Chains A and B, each alone.
Chain A
Amino acid sequence: MSLLSIQNLSQSFDGKPILDGLTMDFWEGHIHAVVGPNGAGKSTLANTIMGLHGYTNYGGEIFFDGQSLRGVSVDARARMGITLAWQEPARFEGLSVLRFVGAGSKRKDPAHVKGLLEALGLEGERYLHRSVDRTLSGGERKRIELASILAMEPRLILMDEPDSGIDVAALDYIFTALSRLKNQGATVIMITHSRAVLEQADHAFLMCNGRLREKGEISKIGRYFIDRCIPCDHINEPDEEESIL
């Protein structure tokens, strides 16, 4: 069963097509990876599914649990169970980690939030009352973002490059979060450039130039990405004839 179904999705900015007739099905309870070169449209896809400001005017259809998301606001989508972990999460001066993580959580008590932080390798006592501001390192901020996602107990998580700015040691905690989400029955769509992250997925899609180039087992997609995309000298402008779909 697919939880999210995208049909002929297109999105353009200033007349330039960024997503170009994407059709994808995301099965419920699976971890899906989306890979592709810089500028392929991966973040645009995530932002459009979330319905962020500036991304609501799309062609085609997005169905979540059989229901069209057209005209559904970001917060209404979030209350349906969709959420987004940002590639570069925003900073909130003066807002404590406890308040931030608790904000979207059904349980706001410090003990619960502390447990989530600790699952991500952040010592609860040290972080609960710190502010989600510039004094947090990029890696700390990303893990706090994931804690706030776990707290929501969402059904569909869009993760935009969960590994960027994260060191190898902390990467294990990202994987812990992923398996926790999977155990909760959640569906994950993660955008990544990392082989290690890709390997956590059950299934992968390869995007190039706003289109779907390939989909299938992660080993196949990984190989294709390394063999064909990385050496590709006209990144994001594949030949029509070259398309393998």
Chain B
Amino acid sequence: MSSSDLVAALLQSIGVDNPHGLSDNTARIEVHENRVVGLKLVPGLKVDADETDDGINVEIRVEAGVRLQKPVHICFGVLPEDGRQHIDLDVRIHQDAHASFLAHCTFPNAVDVRHTMTAGIEVEPGAHYAYFERHVHGTHGGITVIPEARVIVHDDAEFTTEFELIKGRAGQIKFDYETLCHDRSVVEMTARISGRADDRIEIHERAQLLGDEAKAALISHIALRDDARAEIYNDVTAYGARARGHVDCKEIVLDRAIAKAVPMVAVHNPTAHVTHEAAIGSVDSRQLQTLLSRGLTEDEATDLIIEGLLSKKARWTKD
């Protein structure tokens, strides 16, 4: 397939019919397997990509003071049934720059696909970086996703990331994100994942609130059906004065699924404050009975409650 056909096929798999539906001043990066098949830059955004045997190394820079008006669209995908894709991502958002990225990872036909990512991300002082990653998987479950990120969020900087996997089978997911949060920085990491059949989900997220008045929230909302399993390890450790942290882990578990949540909260400074809430179980009985009393069947009611759990939420760190 030609590059433009691949771009069209990738975008179609994520529900975007026409790549040109993205207006001309939208920056875009499309990567199929180990090839950059589409690239459009805007002033202030630099992207360098090197193809490797099984993926690519990408360097992304947003220049100091630049405010990108629109989200940069990224699409990583493997269209065939099998393949390997390793993305090495090196991101630096320079001082006072603001950028948001909307990334789609699409493996619609995966029977034996492995997508791994190692990311080093640095958000310089006063910069804002928002990274929203939506996964579109097929129905087979033959997909392994292993993202790892080390993030440094400097003074007065903001880093928000959201991982959404609601459509298709989760397959095997194991992710590991660590953030170091300096003075007055704000970090929010959210995962919203639906697992079924024999999907396996493992999440490790750590936020170290090193700086004074640093703020972080780690949020995991997971729904599991059939024989799916999830293990969530969230760790917020506060060292800075008046640092604030929060862990929110909610899992709905149906059928024979098994969920485990291990929130770790630690405070090394008496002025810091870290909270956590975890709730694991079947759908809430009062919610269920309410929807049944409106005439929904048990399955319809359960789906609606899960839809609520997995929906996008207002940011915890906004208040």
B49 lies within 8 A of chain A by Cβ = no
A95 touches B294 (CB 8 A): no
B22 lies within 8 A of chain A by Cβ = no
B309 touches A103 (CB 8 A): no
**Residue-wise interface mask of B (280-308) relative to A, using a CB-CB cutoff of 8 A (1 in contact, 0 not):** 00001111011111111110010011011
Question: How close is B247's CB to chain A, nearest CB, in angstroms?
Answer: 16
A111 lies within 8 A of chain B by Cβ = no
A106-B230 Cα distance, complex, nearest whole Å: 37
A114-B293 Cα distance, complex, nearest whole Å: 22
Q: B251-296: which residues lie under 8 A (CB-CB) from chain A? A: 284-287, 289-296
A171-B291 Cα distance, complex, nearest whole Å: 25
A93 touches B293 (CB 8 A): no
Q: B201-238: which residues lie under 8 A (CB-CB) from chain A? A: 221
Task: Identify the stretch in A14-22, A70-78, A212-220 within 8 Å (CB) of chain B at 4 or more residues.
Answer: A70-78
- Selected contact of A78 from candidates B292, B309, B310, B312, CB within 8 Å: B292
Residue on A nearest B279 in the bound complex, by CB: A93
A92 touches B295 (CB 8 A): no
Task: Identify the stretch in A3-11, A79-87, A116-124, A172-180 within 8 Å (CB) of chain B at 4 or more residues.
Answer: A79-87
Question: How close is A90's CB to chain B, nearest CB, in angstroms?
Answer: 4
Residues of B within 8 A of A152 (CB): 294-295
Question: How close is B167's CB to chain A, nearest CB, in angstroms?
Answer: 17
Question: How close is A34's CB to chain B, nearest CB, in angstroms?
Answer: 18
**Residue-wise interface mask of A (87-103) relative to B, using a CB-CB cutoff of 8 A (1 in contact, 0 not):** 00111111110010001
Residues of A within 8 A of B298 (CB): 75
B313 lies within 8 A of chain A by Cβ = yes
B25 lies within 8 A of chain A by Cβ = no
A131 lies within 8 A of chain B by Cβ = yes
Residue on A nearest B294 in the bound complex, by CB: A104
Question: How close is B127's CB to chain A, nearest CB, in angstroms?
Answer: 30
Q: Select the residue from A73, A79, A84, A92 with max chain B CB neighbours within 10 A.
A: A92
Q: Select the residue from B289, B295, B296 with max chain A CB neighbours within 10 A.
A: B295
A198 lies within 8 A of chain B by Cβ = no
A105-B308 Cα distance, complex, nearest whole Å: 18
Question: How close is B302's CB to chain A, nearest CB, in angstroms?
Answer: 12
A103 touches B293 (CB 8 A): no
B293 touches A83 (CB 8 A): yes
User: Apart from A75-B298, A92-B305, what are 14 other A-B pairs with CB-CB below 8 Å?
Assistant: A52-B289, A74-B289, A78-B296, A83-B293, A83-B295, A86-B286, A94-B221, A94-B313, A95-B307, A95-B311, A99-B308, A104-B294, A104-B296, A152-B295
Instruction: Enumerate 9 A-B pairs (CB-CB under 8 Å) in ascending A order.
Output: A75-B292, A75-B295, A90-B286, A90-B289, A92-B305, A93-B308, A93-B309, A131-B311, A152-B294
Which positions in A face B, CB cutoff 8 Å? 50, 52-53, 73-75, 77-79, 83-84, 86, 89-96, 99, 103-104, 131, 148, 152
Which positions in B face A, CB cutoff 8 Å? 221, 250, 284-287, 289-298, 301, 304-305, 307-313
